[in-house]
Every structure is written in C-alpha cells, then in structure tokens.
C-alpha cells in the first residue's frame, strides 16, 4: 500500500518511468529493513505517504478541499503512531497559512480556520489518548516515553562530539542514575502515584526535567557540533549496516577496516563502501530533484511543503545519527530521486 501511494505521488508529476520508479521504491533499503521488524514504523510511513499524496493532490490542483481534509485525517493518525510526528501538525498549519494567503491574497476567518485544521484534526484524533493519560495521571500527555527518550537516548548522544547512532551505554547509565536519584528524593513516590500509568508519566516528567538541567550545563557549541554531525550521519549512513549486524558486523569494525584498507579489506567492507558511495550519490541526485522543483514556478509551494515536512520529522532526532530516524522522510527522498532521474533521462535524450 505504501508503494502504491508513492507511485501515485510520482504520477502527479511524472507519467512515465513506471517500472524504474517502482524498482526505486520497492528496493529502498530502509523501507525493506523496517518492514521485517515488528515496529509501528512501517505503518507510520504508510500514513505519511498516503497523507502526502492527498495533500500534494490538493495543492497541485487546488480544486477539492476533500483531498485536504482526507490528508489531515491521515496525518492525524501518523501523529498518534509515532511521537516523532509531534511537530508535524504545527508545520502543516504554518504552511497552509502562507500557501492559502499566496492564492487568496487576504487574511480572513476561513483562511485562519483552514490553516488551523492540521492541529485541530491531530488533537481530535489523539484526544482519547490524552484523556486516558489525564484520567490516570492528571496530565494531558500523548505519550509517557518522551522523558526517558530525552534522558537516555538524546543526552548520551549530545555528550558525544560527533553525535551517535546508538546511545553510549556508559553515558546512558549515568543519565538514568541521575533520573532515578531524583525520583528517590520524592518521599512516598509510589504512594503519591499509585498506579502504573501515573508513575510512568511522573517518571517521564522527572527525566525530562533532569535532561533540560543537563542540557543547560552543557557547552552550547558542543550541542550544535553534535547535532550537525548526527544529522549528517542520519542522512549519509547506509541502512545496509542493519543487514550486516545480523552477521555480527558492526559499523565500528567497518571504520577500522577503512582506516587499514589494504590489510583489512573483505567482502562485507567492500559491499559497505559501495553502498555508502551509492547513498552519497543518491543524496546529490535528490538535491538536484529538489532544485528542479524550485525551478518550475507552479511547483514552488510543493518544494516548500516537502522541505517543511522533512524538517518537522527530523528535528526531533537531534543528536541521534541512526538511519532508522531517516525513515519518515524516505517517501520524500524517493520522490526527489525519481524527479532527478527523469530529468537526467530527458537531458540524455535531447543530446
């Protein structure tokens, strides 16, 4: 279904290249890898792909508001599937406000109302979760995982000057101990929070509090540097490593082999280098595809939308360079690849 919607997105802009586009979509390593694991990630990508199709259809044709409403409902389901989509409704509202203004050339109630729909739809769809957590803890929270994620995943990565793909176990343990010490300081913690859900949410809030205290004490240049390298890893590391890990091969081993290339070259390292170089070329192709969209006046707002969605989905991964966190933007990257390839083929035919 995800592949079908990605093909539909392609068809909005390109009528040719059916089989080539299908091959690019089906053999995307990140999508293939995540589809073999029992996680909500592949469902999340489905909601993002289908929602993106209906939204692009609305923007490109600007005829049927039903496409907009349907896309926002689907994005609402994406919002409750993975916490990484927490900023998406706000970015979509921001986009719709300026997109509609560029067409209507006036601010009015209808424009503001439609612009707020991404936030309204997402919160309405998520309202049962908010109410359930409020009933059990007294706090309107979508998830109780945020605090633990910040303290035990994001912080240990930010401590590393080059970010990380997987949180350092020593720093992770230190951060977790700090959070646990703060909990132990609260007298009768288990009595005050007398059910599992309320304890989990209370712990998450404490973990978040400790995380921000640690961040305030960190060198800000360190945070910027770590985030930069983490985002670079996220975008430029091939997900082939996930396959090799099943054969007891690690990324650190490949780095060591690369430094001692003449003496340590083997089948796995050679394949890893080939796929790594191919991924870098693919990123250049995707930048080319984005540039081509910008060049066409009627696709300018399409380009803005794709950029905003990518920012909304990778911003929460600050400090984490794991390719798995690239998964939500893979549908957009695939689309940009097809745009780039289509133009290269046209240029070759014209010469």
Residue-wise pLDDT for 191-233, tens only, equals 667 777 777 778 888 888 888 888 888 888 888 888 888 888 8
> What does pTM read for this prediction?
0.86
Beta carbons of 77 and 30 less than 8 angstroms apart? no
d(CA 346, CA 348): 5
Beta carbons of 165 and 323 less than 8 angstroms apart? yes
- The per-residue pLDDT for 258 is 62
- The per-residue pLDDT for 217 is 86
Beta carbons of 351 and 26 less than 8 angstroms apart? no
d(CA 80, CA 74): 10
Longest dimension (CA), the chain: 78
- The per-residue pLDDT for 259 is 62
- The per-residue pLDDT for 133 is 77
- The per-residue pLDDT for 151 is 85
DSSP string, 253-269: HHHHHHHTHHHH--HHH
- The first and second tokens of residue 259, run together, are 């430094």
Residue-wise pLDDT for 115-173, tens only, equals 999 999 999 999 998 888 787 767 777 777 778 888 888 888 888 887 776 667 888 88
Low-confidence ranges of the chain (pLDDT < 70): 137, 165-167, 191-192, 242-266, 321
- The per-residue pLDDT for 185 is 83
């Amino acid at each position: 279904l995800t592949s079908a919607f990605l093909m539909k997105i392609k068809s909005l802009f390109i009528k040719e290249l059916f089989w080539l586009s299908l091959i690019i979509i089906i053999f995307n390593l990140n999508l293939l890898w995540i589809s073999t694991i029992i996680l909500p990630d592949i469902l999340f990508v489905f909601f993002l792909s289908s929602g993106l199709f209906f939204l692009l259809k609305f923007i490109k044709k600007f005829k049927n508001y039903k496409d907009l409403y349907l896309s926002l409902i689907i994005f609402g389901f994406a919002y409750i599937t993975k916490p990484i989509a927490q900023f998406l409704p706000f970015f979509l509202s921001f986009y719709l406000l300026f997109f509609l203004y560029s067409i209507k050339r006036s601010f009015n109630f209808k424009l503001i109302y439609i612009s707020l729909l991404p936030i309204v739809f997402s919160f309405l769809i998520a309202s049962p979760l908010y109410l359930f957590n409020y009933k059990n803890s007294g706090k309107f929270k979508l998830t109780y995982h945020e605090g633990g994620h910040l303290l035990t995943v994001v912080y240990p990565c930010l401590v590393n000057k080059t970010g990380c793909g997987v949180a350092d176990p020593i720093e992770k343990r230190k951060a977790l101990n700090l959070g646990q010490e703060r909990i132990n300081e609260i007298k009768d913690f288990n009595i005050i929070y007398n059910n599992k859900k309320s304890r989990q949410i209370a712990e998450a809030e404490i973990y978040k509090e400790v995380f921000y205290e640690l961040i305030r004490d960190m060198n800000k240049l360190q945070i910027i540097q770590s985030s930069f390298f983490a985002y670079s890893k996220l975008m430029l590391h091939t997900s082939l490593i996930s396959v090799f890990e099943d054969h007891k091969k690690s990324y650190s081993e490949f780095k060591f082999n690369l430094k001692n290339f003449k003496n340590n070259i083997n089948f796995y390292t050679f394949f890893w280098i080939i796929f790594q170089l191919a991924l870098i070329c693919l990123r250049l192709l995707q930048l080319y595809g984005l540039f081509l969209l910008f060049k066409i006046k009627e696709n300018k707002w399409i380009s803005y939308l794709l950029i905003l969605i990518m920012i909304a989905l990778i911003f929460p991964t600050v400090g984490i360079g794991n390719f798995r966190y690239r998964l939500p933007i893979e549908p957009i990257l695939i689309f940009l690849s097809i745009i780039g390839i289509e133009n290269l083929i046209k240029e070759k035919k014209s010469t």
